[in-house]
Chains A and B, each alone.
Chain A
Amino acid sequence: MKAIKEEHICNDDVYASIFSTYSKTVFNYIYYKFGNEEKAYDVVQEAFIKLWENCSKVAPDKAKSYVYTVANNLYLNVLKAEKVRLKYAPDTNAVVHESPEFILEEQEYKEKLERALAALPENQRTTFLLNRIDGKKYAEIADMEGVSVKAIEKRMHLALKSLRERIEGI
């Protein structure tokens, strides 16, 4: 006959654990869309403030999708016709023992890749990077974007195709 204490987002500990679990992935998600770190950061802040303000109305198991939805709406609200510029932190783990020509070539390839990524349509880029960087499964991305797994596969396919075409200058 013991009362079950309900976990509530308004509880500081619960809120903090939701933040630490999802803030990074929300940041990445929005960053892939915007290609702008500062804006992605601000969106994360706003989304989590919204979550706090509505903590009593959102069930803990809905917190994840709530934050994603709010972040996505915020992104859509502030989306301007700005040129998307993505840059990625260099891969620090790679130890390079290669010839200068090779390194130069690699450098060039990387720049081409970044330009090609920036030129992708937003939905293809987001899908592609969620899979490649965050290791999200197609089904997870489909869930986040609210489309079918098949649609995500299509996006992936098209993303790969147009990346290759752009890099090779076809």
Chain B
Amino acid sequence: MQENYLAKWLNNELTEEELAKFKESKEYAPYLKLREATDNLEAPDFDMAKAWEDLNKHKIGTKGKVIKLNPYKKYLGIAAAVALLFIASFLYYGSLNEKISTQYAERTEIVLPDASEVQLNADSHISYSKKNWAKKRDIALEGEAYFKVAKGKRFTVTTAHGTVSVLGTQFNVENRKDFFEVACYEGLVSVVYNKKEIKLPAGNSLVVINGQLQALAIPNTKEPSWIRNESSFKSIPLKFVLDEFQRQFNIEVATENIDTDQLFTGSFSNTDKELALQSISTPSQIKFKLEGNKVLFYAETP
């Protein structure tokens, strides 16, 4: 008989031969009885629901006692409310503690805590949390900005139209009324628009105009043209071009008898006003009249 044969027998691991031999022995009967008797053994009831309740009581029980012994109990509520307000406002302002805006005809460059760079185009606004930056690279954007993201954790740009996130790359986001454009210059960008995720490899852009989504290739450049003081457009309705002009030069734009939905392809200078006006009007075959801080675009009289 092999070693520990009783354990093997209980586990039904004996060979037939061994089992037959064991059954013949006079020890077999008492062991069988023992096996049968212990088949029906049960452990005492364990009231799991009660144990869970007791456990939860214990988990918070210690706190209750402290409050009871406190003679300033009635002030605790007020103190807690004040503390809560304080903490809430602290957290709220803490989460939005950095805000940077640009006006018309203004541009600025921001270096984020992790050395990522943001170029903010005219009439744009970003906010982010300096304190939590190491934990969460989240930035809220209204307007247009070009990002050079340092390698690291996920970097997220939140806009009213959608969310753009990357790990480390260079990309441009433009988020205006009825207009949303994301262009990726390096790496891979993930855009969540309308609850759908779109992956944008380098050299591609995505444009949403009035809810119409289209994917376009971008010119083989390292950065958007506006960084070099030039605003470029490819098959973009004229009204968005005029809006951009207004933002770049802080000149009020008015139109008369022209179709602002016609598509415009081309670029204009962001520094030379006269040249820019020519660049817009000539290809579109419209005329303009510049008076002080206002410009009127109008159709050529036939």
A residues bordering B, Cβ < 8 Å?
Answer: 1, 3, 16, 19-20, 23-24, 27-28, 31-32, 37, 41, 44-45, 48-49, 52, 87-91, 93-94, 109-110, 113, 128-129, 131-134, 138, 150, 152-157, 160-161, 163-164, 167-168
Contacts and interface: CB of A to CB of B under 8 A. Distances in A.
A19 B11 CA distance: 29
B44 A129 contact: no
Contacts of B40: 91, 93-94
A1 B165 contact: yes
How many B residues touch the partner, as a band?
Answer: 20 to 34
A28 B10 CA distance: 21
Contacts of B8: 153
| A-B CB proximity, top 10 nearest | A156-B7, A153-B7, A157-B4, A91-B40, A153-B4, A160-B6, A157-B6, A28-B43, A157-B7, A132-B38
Specify the main secondary structure of chain B where it touches its partner: helix
Given A91-B40, A133-B43, A164-B34, A3 B154 contact: yes
Contacts of B41: 88, 91, 129, 132-133
A155 B11 CA distance: 13
Interface stretch (B51-59, B69-77, B240-248, B275-283): B51-59
A45 B58 contact: yes
A27 B46 contact: yes
B16 interface: no
B30 interface: yes
30 contacts: A1-B154, A16-B52, A19-B52, A19-B55, A23-B48, A24-B46, A24-B48, A27-B43, A27-B46, A31-B43, A32-B43, A37-B44, A45-B55, A49-B59, A87-B44, A88-B44, A89-B42, A89-B43, A89-B45, A91-B42, A132-B38, A132-B41, A153-B4, A160-B34, A163-B34, A164-B30, A164-B34, A167-B30, A167-B34, A168-B30
A154 B3 CA distance: 8
B7 A138 contact: yes
B189 to A, nearest CB: 10
Contacts of B3: 153, 157
